[in-house]
Amino acid sequence: MEITEREPSGPWEGMLAAPVRGSDVGVLVLAGSSGRVERERACILARQGFTALAIRWFGGPGQSPGICEVPLETFTAAVGLLRRGGARRIGVLGVSKGAEAALLTAVHDPRVDVAVALSPTSRVWCNIGAGRDGEHRPYRSSWTWQERPLPFAPLDESWAPAQPGSGPVAIRGWYEQSERAFGRSLPDTEIPVETARADLLLVAGGDDAMWPSLPFAEQLVRRRRGAGRTVRLIARDDAGHRPRFPGESPAPASTHFAYGGTAEADALLGEAAWPHILDLLGSDGPGRPATADAGLRSPDRR
């Protein structure tokens, strides 16, 4: 499908990709803590017939340099841009911290019809990087809403990597230790997905080395189903933190962090999730009961 690419109007760095014939479905595409603009992912979605807006949501001009007290209005304003461009159905697709943002945007903005959370968390965490004041500490919330910080879980500073200085670090244990230390005493940090009117699709790998996205996703599923709401969970036990969609380039290697999984497993997880993403974005309305409450794993579990 022929598409167009251009810079979006608005306060962000980013790109807007859309079919030449237009679309009444708009998707906001969010990266995680890399801070990049997900241009390739937006183009892949545009070739499927959707208008896709990929933005830089921190680290850009006028933005917090780190993921620290980022206004959720950053994302609701982008939803508004898609709506003004003619989108009648809105999806927000994010990975990792972008998935955290996608879920929170769906909770706070009833215009969101679909939230796709790749490698999600089930709660709000503290900042990653510096705030507008240039300081990393004390810990603050990653997000604000209407100028008020959301309740957040801090990281336990007593954690240390098992093999410091020996290559890329797996920090999953840091989040697991911090959740044990603080999570149960901070119920207000849980993302209230049960209140979102949007369809929910969670995609997670059991071998995620950045944080325990599959246990987090299972927490979200329990919360959602406990409220009688539908949810889809697509998982592979052997996949890591960075699922890849059909036609998407492999994730780049990192010298700093271990992400878990393998290129093959991450691609297979993205391939398994892809038809569900297309189905939800292209469906006529949220909460379709026939298939929307699904908990799926690849039959090739290792």
pLDDT for 295: 55
CATH code given to domain 3-297: 3.40.50.1820
Most confident of 131-135, 281-285, 291-295: 131-135
How far is the C-alpha of 259 from the C-alpha of 210, rounded, in Å? 6
Q: Does the structure show a pLDDT above 60 at 284?
A: no
Report pTM. 0.93
Average pLDDT of the segment spanning 259-265: 97
> What pLDDT does 287 receive?
38
Q: How confident is the model at residue 186 (pLDDT cuts 50, 70, 90)?
A: confident
Give 165 or 279, the one with higher predicted confidence: 279
Please report how many Cα atoms fall inside a 13 Å half-sphere around the Cα of residue 118, on the Cβ side.
Answer: 28
Residue 6 CB neighbours (<10 A): 9
Q: For position 183, what pLDDT does the model report?
A: 74
pLDDT in tens, 60-115: 999 999 999 999 999 999 999 999 999 999 999 999 999 999 999 999 999 999 99
Mean pLDDT of the chain: 92
> Are β-strands 199-205 and 232-236 bridged in parallel, bridged antiparallel, or unpaired?
parallel
Structure confidence at residue 290 (pLDDT): 37
pLDDT: is 252 or 198 the higher one?
Answer: 198
* Dist. CA 168–CA 195, nearest whole Å: 38
